[in-house]
Amino acid sequence: MIPSKILITSYNISGFGGMETVCRDFIRLLKQRRPDITVSFVFFNDKQTQPNDDWLNNIKYSRLYSNIRNGKLRRIHYAWQLRQLLFEQKINAIIALDAIACYNSNISRKFIFDRKIPLICWPHFSINRIYKKEYLLKADYYYAISKGIARQLVAIGANRSHIFTLFNPIKKHDIIIPRPKDKTAFLYLGRILFAGDKQLAFLFNSLANISGDWQLNIVGSGEENEIHQLKQLAKKLNITEKINWHGWQSDSWLYIQNNIKKVTALLLTSNSEGFPMVLPEAISYGIYVISSNCLTGPKDIIKEDINGKLFPVNDMPCFVNILQAIVNNKTLPTQTSIKNSILDFYEDSYIERVNLSLKKILA
């Protein structure tokens, strides 16, 4: 039986990322399946920041504060405050979004003596990069957003039978964003970083080796110095005229439909991901995707030559060959077949996995 009250715990999150979108969709879909369910948030305001909470519209949340400087004592202080909420709200299950929240939540539930509260950890990033990842093992169960993250959880000691690989939910729709017939229109959608995880410098250097008629549309935001570095690199590589900067858009896909209008392929050259939502989102519009085979996520989403193509991380010759073949009018799969290649990621399949997991956890 699914619990009537679930509490999601986390340290402050910015309000602008993919994790917020996934959490909001998780709550929306769960309420549709079980309208009697109540899901709320508790945030630990560790750095006294002021995140944007607009994404929490109509979702109940609270924020805990502590002025204790010692990290371990501060976590215990948070745990004691959280214990009060668990008791007063009669919480049936906790979902922690990060390792420290998992640690705090585990301490808190030990102070509830009238019932056992299961703790689920739901990390949204590669486990290998999580601070205090050993704290994840305080949880009873795990939600993995990719098979790669599930493997990483097993590697640090999590019980394989207590891991539920949910992936992330993608909205199904009838819209197809068509391909241009007269040129190749590549798309990058996401955070703009010169190097780091997204390493757009690698993308620019690769595109500079492509001959033929192509354009790159960039939709997303980043620090001014990152964008400046990329514009300087584009100038050095003589590809400035081929790159269109669209900036951050509140509804990226609606903007793409109305302004860019036609897309040949979406490109992703990341060093690391958790579950890159941009890939299945693009596929849901019938867009062919090309991505680095980074840890973790792309391999779960991309089916070779059915909806896209993978290349080894930082393998520029391989990436260039894939791009050049497309510019040379390589025959791509039909856009309808691309849309139908991710049936397991659409919302109906996703919430069924969530529902089954909660039935098992709370049996």
Give the pLDDT confidence of 229-261 residue by residue, as tens digits: 999 999 999 999 999 999 999 899 999 999 999
80 residue type, one letter: W
Q: What local confidence, expressed as pLDDT, does residue 3 receive?
A: 54
C-alpha pair distances (Å), 338 with each of 265, 281, 282: 12, 11, 10
CA-based end-to-end distance of the chain? 7
Res. 343: pLDDT tops 90: yes
- Asked, colleague to colleague, whether 5-169+346-361 and 184-342 share their fold, the answer is yes
Q: Is CATH 2.30.110.10 the right assignment for the domain spanning 184-342?
A: no
Assign a CATH topology to domain 5-169+346-361: Rossmann fold (3.40.50)
Element (H, E) at 151: helix 147-155
Res. 226: pLDDT tops 70: yes
CA dihedral 145, 21, 291, 348 (to 10 degrees): 60
Half-sphere exposure of 317 (CA within 13 A, CB side): 0
Res. 34: pLDDT tops 90: no
Res. 37: pLDDT tops 90: no
Q: What percentage of the chain exceeds 90 in pLDDT?
A: 83
Q: What local confidence, expressed as pLDDT, does residue 316 receive?
A: 98
Residue carrying structure tokens 């009873």:
140
Range in 46-60, 108-122, 180-194, 307-321 the model is least confident about = 46-60
What are the domain boundaries of the chain? 5-169+346-361, 184-342
Cα 200-132-92 angle, rounded to 5 deg = 105
Res. 102: pLDDT tops 70: yes
E strand intervals along the chain:
5-11, 38-44, 61-64, 93-96, 119-121, 141-144, 163-165, 184-189, 214-219, 243-247, 265-268, 288-292, 308-311
Mean pLDDT of 334-347: 96
Res. 2: pLDDT tops 60: no
Mean pLDDT of 185-214: 95
Between CA 285 and CA 267 the distance in angstroms is: 15
Strand partners for 142 = 121, 163
Res. 60: pLDDT tops 60: yes
Range in 52-56, 153-157, 184-188 the model is least confident about = 52-56
Q: What local confidence, expressed as pLDDT, does residue 1 receive?
A: 53
Strand 184-189's sheet: what is its strand order? Answer: 243-247, 214-219, 184-189, 265-268, 288-292, 308-311
Arithmetic mean of pLDDT over the chain: 94
